[in-house]
């Protein structure tokens, strides 16, 4: 009997095999097949590929005792079409490692039971839970909104508990960076066992045990980063996407997809409810709530009723005399009050390193990366200049075109290390630490640092965006935003929205256990629109204005964007191939194709990058037609084509 088998490689169609002695095989059965000179794990697929080519049909070698359910096949088919990714590559994410199919299948997951701590829901939390329950157990999307510290987690924990009692599985998606020990501890306290945590750094053995026990339904609760969306749940009953607005749900390398959106589709295929939790939603989610596509429930107040921090603007253009000093006198006097009370202060600056530019004062050379078209950032603790795209490092010695001696580089702009050294001079007896990815490479060190912060052993923290995430710092009552200037940052149509979300989250970090907390914004432009939206804290007004702008400019969610990035070692080749792809796509009806243009970051890792941007109406599923065209055109082997559906990043 002929059967279609999908192989986890770069094919969009299943291959035909003979089922031989295994007879009739159901779609989803996992098998071992000969492939070229190798053996490969494959899955019996739902549809046969029609082909006129004649070729020898080989027999299936082995049938595994486990299989995927129909929903997984549906999800893979849909995911592949939506994101324009070959089906085989999506299957590969589901199959994981070959060792998952080894014989020792019955390993029990390590579920050590601990003592549960009793949590009591307050009236608001009870109301939210009641709302959620009233939306039913079939597919529906609910936004659970509440300011940081209002206790959203406990509301969805309660819902998860109910699913566990009914023997159903739950997936909680979190941005990778939130999968902290603090979060796991809350889980443990609540449920009395450790959650199965799935992310990129777990060991191979743990990965296998977890995968197998998720497939046989023994593991009831998985907390994971976006890749956990590709786990073979047997009996999924609920999905929770926490921090749903977080842009790290968008996978921007390799296979590109938005994990939040794909989670919603997975829930619809499984016909189960999905909860989106956040303090400020993404604009799309906000609009879907407004249009009644999503349900909505809200926690109005912070958990113990502490108010949000007060705000203060420090106008740098009035006071800044020394070009290379970034901390204002007024800022420092406000900060000192908190330090005198032995409370923590955070200086927030979303720039790693010491200085983002280095310019020679004699010849004017700006140090830039030889592999990418961007400037190098100086890192003082390494004493090297570094590229934040490819990791290239160099010492800063260079022969000067003007003096023939070494260039004399001057640093421009602040980075966290620069703020650290300014603070060290002003507060020499305070304990000051930097919290950025460069300083948190080792797990143990970062745990120690977080513990020290929690126990108030650190007086001043200097941190990047990392700090705005999920951590709980009980003594932090004052935050300084060093550089609150929002114009011209990044290549992202969502930058306003993202800033609103980021600063909302950041201010939620302060004053969780105090009535007197403060957030200081240092800026050269106190009239800036984004800054004032943040200060006003009128999210609704901001969203309405932003939606109006998007509609005027025909941007998502009023249209669908699909980016094509054509990269090549050869600059001309990248451009010519982009033109060719544009010509092939031009017969599509109801779309504009913009470009080809050079990417804002034109060169990355020695590859030149040209972009096309396709815009279509949001109510037509244009991917189907694009997929047909892409299959027909011969794309040069010398280029790499990346398709990005619903792109967030335009660099
Ligand atoms: Zn580089
Ligand atoms: Zn020079």
* Mean pLDDT of the region 256-263: 97
Q: Is the dihedral of CA 447, 453, 457, 462 positive or negative?
A: positive
Residue with tokens 């010849």: 363
Ligand nearest to the CA of 605: 1
Q: How many CB atoms lie within 10 A of CB 290?
A: 14
- CB neighbourhood size of 468 (10 A): 23
* Ligand in closest contact with the CA of 601: 1
Radius of gyration of the chain (CA): 27
* Residue-wise pLDDT tens digits, 76-105: 999 999 999 999 999 999 998 877 777 665
Sign of CA dihedral 265, 270, 271, 275: negative
> What is the 403 CA–ligand 2 centroid distance (Å)?
7
> Of 530, 540, 473, 483, whose CA–CA distance to 507 is shortest?
473
Neighbours of 48 (CB within 10 A): 12
284 C-alpha to ligand 2 centroid (Å): 49
Query: How high is the mean pLDDT of the chain?
Result: 88
- Residue 107 pLDDT grade (very low, low, confident, very high; cuts 50, 70, 90): low
Distance 377 CA to ligand 1 centre (A): 11
Q: What is the pLDDT of residue 623?
A: 96
Q: Exposure of 365 by Cβ count < 10 A (0-12 exposed, 13-18 middle, 19+ buried)?
A: middle
Whether 461 and 347 have beta carbons less than 8 Å apart is answered as yes
**Length reported for the chain:** 651
- Ligand 1 midpoint to CA 309 (Å): 39
pLDDT surpasses 60 at 491: no
Residue 24, judged by CB atoms within 10 A of its CB (0-12, 13-18, 19+), counts as exposed
Distance from Cα 241 to the centre of ligand 1, integer Å: 34
Bridge-based pairing of strands 38-44 and 2-6 is antiparallel
Angle, CA 460 vertex, CA 454 and CA 466 arms, to 5°: 70
Q: How far is CA 483 from the centre of its chain?
A: 24
Average pLDDT, integer, range 256-273? 97
Distance 612 CA to ligand 1 centre (A): 23
117: number of Cβ within 10 Å = 10
Token output for 424: 């060290």
Strand 2-6 with 15-18, pairing: antiparallel
Instruction: Kindly report, residue by residue over 290-307, the tens digit of the pLDDT.
Output: 999 999 999 987 656 567
pLDDT above 90: percentage of residues in the chain? 57
Give pLDDT tens digits for 177-208: 776 777 788 888 898 888 899 988 888 888 88
């Amino acid at each position: 009997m002929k059967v279609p088998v999908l192989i986890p490689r770069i094919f969009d169609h299943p291959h035909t095999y003979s089922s031989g002695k295994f007879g009739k095989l159901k779609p989803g059965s996992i098998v071992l097949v000969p492939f070229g000179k190798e053996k490969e794990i494959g899955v019996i697929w739902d549809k046969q590929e029609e082909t006129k080519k004649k070729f020898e049909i080989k027999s299936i070698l082995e049938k595994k005792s486990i299989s995927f359910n129909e929903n997984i096949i549906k999800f893979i088919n849909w995911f592949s079409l939506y994101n324009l990714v070959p089906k085989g590559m999506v299957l590969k994410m589901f199959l994981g490692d070959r060792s998952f199919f080894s014989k020792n299948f019955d390993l029990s997951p390590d579920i050590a039971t601990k003592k549960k701590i009793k949590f009591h829901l307050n009236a608001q939390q009870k109301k939210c839970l009641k709302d959620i329950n009233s939306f039913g157990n079939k597919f529906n999307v609910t936004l659970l909104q509440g300011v940081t510290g209002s206790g959203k987690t406990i509301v969805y924990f309660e819902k998860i508990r109910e699913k566990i009692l009914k023997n159903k599985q739950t997936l909680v998606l979190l941005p990778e960076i939130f999968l902290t020990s603090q979060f796991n501890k809350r889980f443990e306290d609540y449920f009395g066992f450790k959650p199965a945590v799935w992310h990129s750094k777990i060991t191979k053995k743990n990965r296998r045990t977890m995968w197998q026990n998720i497939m046989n339904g023994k593991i009831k609760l998985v907390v994971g980063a976006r890749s956990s969306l590709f786990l073979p749940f047997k009996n999924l009953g609920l999905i929770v996407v926490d921090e749903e607005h977080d842009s790290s749900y968008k996978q921007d390398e390799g296979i590109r997809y938005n994990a939040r959106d794909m989670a919603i589709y997975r829930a619809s295929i499984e016909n189960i409810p999905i909860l989106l939790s956040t303090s400020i939603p993404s604009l799309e989610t906000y609009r879907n709530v407004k249009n009644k596509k999503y349900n909505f429930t809200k926690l109005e107040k912070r958990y113990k009723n502490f108010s949000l921090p007060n705000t203060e603007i420090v106008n740098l253009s009035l006071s800044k005399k020394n070009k290379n000093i970034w901390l204002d006198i007024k800022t420092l006097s406000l900060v000192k009050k908190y330090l005198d009370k032995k409370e923590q202060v955070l200086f927030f600056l979303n720039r790693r390193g010491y200085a983002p530019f280095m310019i020679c004062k004699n010849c004017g050379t700006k140090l830039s990366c030889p592999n990418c078209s961007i400037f190098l950032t100086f890192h003082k603790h390494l004493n090297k200049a570094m590229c934040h795209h490819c990791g290239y490092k160099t010492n800063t010695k260079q022969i000067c075109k003007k003096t023939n001696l070494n260039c004399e580089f001057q640093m421009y702009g602040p980075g966290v290390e620069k703020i650290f050294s300014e603070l060290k001079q002003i507060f020499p007896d305070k304990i000051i630490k930097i919290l950025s990815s460069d300083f948190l490479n080792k797990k143990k060190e970062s745990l120690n640092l977080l513990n020290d912060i929690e126990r108030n052993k650190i007086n001043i923290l200097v941190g990047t965006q990392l700090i705005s995430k999920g951590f709980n710092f009980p003594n932090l009552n004052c935050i300084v935003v060093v550089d609150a200037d929002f114009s011209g940052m990044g290549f992202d149509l969502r930058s306003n929205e993202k800033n609103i979300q980021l600063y909302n989250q950041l201010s939620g970090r302060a004053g969780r256990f105090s009535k007197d907390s403060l957030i200081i914004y240092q800026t050269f432009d106190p009239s800036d629109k984004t800054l004032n939206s943040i200060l006003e804290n009128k999210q609704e007004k901001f969203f309405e204005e932003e939606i109006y702008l998007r509609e005027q400019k025909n941007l998502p969610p009023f249209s669908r964007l699909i980016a094509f990035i054509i990269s090549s070692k050869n600059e001309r080749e990248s451009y010519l191939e982009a033109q060719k792809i544009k010509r092939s796509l031009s017969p599509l009806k109801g779309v504009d194709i913009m470009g080809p243009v050079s990417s804002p970051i034109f060169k990355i890792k020695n590859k030149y990058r040209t972009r096309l941007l396709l815009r279509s109406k949001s109510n037509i599923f244009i991917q189907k037609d694009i997929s047909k065209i892409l299959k027909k055109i011969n794309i040069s082997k010398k280029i790499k084509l990346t398709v990005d559906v619903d792109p967030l990043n335009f660099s």
